[in-house]
Every structure is written in structure tokens, then in C-alpha cells.
């Protein structure tokens, strides 16, 4: 679709990219939209695309996600890079990905799994709002990806069966299942709603932001809660102090898999729960924590037992 971009604005190019075949998967589209909408706002949604240069893109990326974790930076960079590549392919005069915006190395965190007691303390805190408490508990109990749970709409839920239908990372339609805690919280969160996203933003979107109809609640007019906002809130409630990062949304999924492994649940069942296809990938997550290692060490104790 070659297009004369002499009059194309940042907003126009973003909207057309999000409507393209590259974003056919709804989870992909939402993830890209979350990053590109913020970038468009930073650059100026009404500015002509051919007026921008690589330095402005680099400065915008740094301002938006320069202080984020390496994984978050790489995800947002990937979304912007996909958009810029699409623009070049389709005749829009957009700059290339800035050299300064390089991918960052992601160092494996050996302490990524969170102790079950710490998760329980967080989920029983009285100062945590209902929306966040429901989201975090649902992420832990389903062991699902954060993007999958945030993409849920009310009709996707089967409250009686404690399950929901989701579109997975590969585009397959699958079920995720939750336990008693989520089952008690979800009806309170929905408060009788029968349509729209399960998890909503606190306020209605302003006139400058135009979410897709599927991302708006027809009853309240509020938009779907975005990944970035959900990430910030979890970090805020779990950070031990200023300048020290809190938990990441993915840690709840990782911790669920680890805790199942520590409970001697078989790898096949853990793969079914987390919906991993490759045993090697699942084994990377199912890593016993320090408590489990300490307990099993007692089996090697050859010291005589005290009476």
C-alpha cells in the first residue's frame, strides 16, 4: 500500500499500522497501541511524520522508557521498530530506528520467583484497591501472561466454571483457570457489568486519545487498563523504598510455576497450567526457590540426630 506521506501525521501513521495485518492478533495490537499511543503523544500526534528525525525519536524513547527495566525497554523498542519498518515499507517518510536506541541485555534474575508468603501478604493488604487485588491474584492463580489477562472482556469469563477463554501468545484460543480468591473478587469488581473490558482505567479517556470500541466499556465509558499502568501500580505497592524497583507483573506467573514445582507437581501439569509448549522453556521457569533447596538439603545431613 504505497502512500504519499507528505501530509501524513504521526497519529494517522500509527492508526493505519494498528489496523494493518501486522497487528491482526488483538493482543499484539493492544501491546503495540500502548507503546505507540504514548510515543505519539510525546512526539505530537498532529505533527507531520516527515518532519521528525531520528534524534527526536531517540529523545522520546529515552524520556518514556529510559529508566525502565531492560525487558520493558526492549518490548517498547520492538513495538516502535515494527511501526517504523512498516512505515518505510508502505511509503511513509519516517526515520529509521535511532542508533542510540539499542536493545539492552536482559540479565537473568536468579531470585525472580517471589515467596508465597510475600504474595499472600500483598493480596491481603487493606490499602490495595479492589481492581489491583483482583488482577494480581488472577495473574498468580491462572499463571497467565499479563497481556492475556488485561485483554479479557466480561463475556470471556465463565464465573461458574472459574475459567476464561483467552487468545494466547501464538494466537490459539485456550482456557485459563482460577481459584477461590479470584472467584470471590471478580463479581465485586464487575459489579453487574456484562460487557466491556474486565479491568478498566480509573477515568474516561480524553478527547486526544481514541481507544478502539472493544477497549471501551459501553456502560461506564472507561477504557481498558493498559499494561504500563498496571506495571507501575504493582511496582508502587511492592517497592521497598525510593529508587528500589518492586515486583514485575511477569513475576506472578513465574512464581506460580515455581510454587507448583516446589509442591512436586509434575512438569506436564505445570506445562498445561502455564500453557508452555516446550519443556525446556517450562523448566526455565520451574526453578525451586531458596526455601525448597534449604529443605531438600536436610536429606543430605549425615550428622547424628539429637535426642
pLDDT digit string (tens) for the chain, length 307 residues: 444 555 789 999 999 999 998 888 777 787 888 889 999 999 998 888 888 888 888 899 999 998 887 878 888 898 899 999 999 888 888 888 888 888 888 765 544 789 999 999 999 999 999 999 999 999 999 999 999 999 999 999 999 999 999 987 767 889 999 999 999 999 999 999 999 999 999 888 877 677 888 899 999 999 999 998 999 999 999 988 776 788 999 999 999 998 998 888 888 899 999 998 888 877 776 766 666 777 777 778 776 666 5
Same domain assignment for residues 264 and 153: yes
Using CA atoms, how far apart are residues 112 and 128, in angstroms rounded to an integer? 22
- Output the pLDDT for position 2: 42
Residue 183: C-alpha distances to residues 76, 165, 188, 194 (Å): 33, 15, 10, 16
Same domain assignment for residues 183 and 238: yes
Same domain assignment for residues 137 and 284: yes
**Is 94 within a domain?**
no
**Is 34 within a domain?**
yes
Same domain assignment for residues 126 and 170: yes
Domain extent at residue 85: 10-89
- Output the pLDDT for position 5: 57
Using CA atoms, how far apart are residues 22 and 289, in angstroms rounded to an integer? 39
Same domain assignment for residues 80 and 124: no
- Output the pLDDT for position 86: 92
- Output the pLDDT for position 244: 76
**Is 26 within a domain?**
yes
Residue whose cell numbers read 511509503: 91
**Is 101 within a domain?**
no
**Is 300 within a domain?**
no
Q: Which three cell numbers stand for residue 301?
A: 545431613
Terminal CA-CA length for the chain: 82
Burial 147-166 (b: 16+ CB within 10 A, else e): bbbbbbbbebbeeeebebeb
Residue 18: C-alpha distances to residues 12, 293, 295 (Å): 10, 47, 50
Indicate whether this model's pTM tops 0.85. Answer: no
Same domain assignment for residues 171 and 56: no
Residue 261: C-alpha distances to residues 24, 100, 121, 176 (Å): 35, 41, 21, 18
- Output the pLDDT for position 251: 92
**Residue 278: is it exposed, middle or buried by C-beta count within 10 angstroms (0-12/13-18/19+)?**
exposed
**Is 160 within a domain?**
yes
**Is 100 within a domain?**
no
Residue whose cell numbers read 501478604: 121
Same domain assignment for residues 171 and 126: yes
Coil, helix or strand at residue 9: strand
Same domain assignment for residues 149 and 241: yes
Same domain assignment for residues 151 and 235: yes
Looking at the structure of the chain, the number of domains it has is: 2
- Output the pLDDT for position 287: 67
Coil, helix or strand at residue 189: helix
- Answer yes or no: are the C-beta atoms of 114 and 247 closer than 8 Å: yes
User: What CATH number has the domain bearing residue 177?
Assistant: 1.10.443.10
Same domain assignment for residues 68 and 157: no
Same domain assignment for residues 51 and 147: no
CA-nearest of 304, 269, 302 to 286 is: 269
Same domain assignment for residues 85 and 122: no
Amino acid at each position: 500500500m504505497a502512500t504519499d506521506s507528505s501530509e501524513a501525521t504521526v497519529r494517522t501513521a500509527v492508526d493505519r499500522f494498528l489496523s494493518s495485518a501486522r497487528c491482526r492478533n488483538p493482543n499484539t495490537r493492544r501491546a503495540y497501541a500502548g507503546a505507540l499511543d504514548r510515543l505519539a503523544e510525546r512526539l505530537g500526534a498532529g505533527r507531520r511524520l516527515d518532519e521528525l528525525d531520528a534524534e527526536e525519536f531517540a529523545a522520546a524513547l529515552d524520556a518514556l522508557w529510559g529508566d525502565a527495566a531492560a525487558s520493558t525497554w526492549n518490548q517498547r523498542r520492538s513495538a516502535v521498530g515494527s511501526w517504523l519498518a512498516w512505515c518505510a515499507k508502505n511509503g511513509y517518510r519516517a526515520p529509521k530506528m535511532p542508533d542510540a536506541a539499542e536493545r539492552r541485555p536482559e540479565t537473568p534474575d536468579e531470585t525472580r520467583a517471589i515467596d508465597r508468603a510475600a504474595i499472600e501478604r500483598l493480596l491481603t493488604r487493606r490499602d490495595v484497591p479492589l481492581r489491583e487485588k483482583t488482577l494480581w491474584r488472577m495473574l498468580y492463580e491462572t499463571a497467565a501472561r499479563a497481556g492475556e489477562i488485561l485483554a479479557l472482556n466480561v463475556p470471556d469469563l465463565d464465573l461458574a466454571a472459574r475459567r476464561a477463554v483467552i487468545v494466547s501468545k501464538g494466537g490459539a484460543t485456550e482456557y485459563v483457570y482460577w481459584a477461590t480468591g479470584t472467584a470471590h473478587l471478580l463479581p465485586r469488581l464487575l459489579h453487574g457489568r456484562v460487557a466491556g473490558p474486565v479491568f478498566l482505567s480509573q477515568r474516561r479517556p480524553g478527547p486526544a486519545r481514541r481507544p478502539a470500541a472493544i477497549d471501551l466499556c459501553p456502560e461506564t465509558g472507561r477504557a481498558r487498563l493498559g499494561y504500563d499502568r498496571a506495571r507501575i501500580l504493582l511496582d508502587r505497592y511492592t517497592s521497598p523504598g525510593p529508587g528500589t524497583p518492586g515486583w514485575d507483573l511477569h513475576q506472578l506467573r513465574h512464581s506460580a510455576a515455581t510454587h507448583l514445582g516446589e509442591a512436586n507437581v509434575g512438569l506436564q501439569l505445570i506445562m498445561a497450567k502455564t500453557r508452555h509448549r516446550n519443556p525446556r522453556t517450562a523448566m526455565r521457569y520451574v526453578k525451586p526457590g531458596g526455601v525448597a533447596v534449604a529443605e531438600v538439603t536436610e536429606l543430605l545431613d549425615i550428622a547424628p540426630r539429637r535426642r
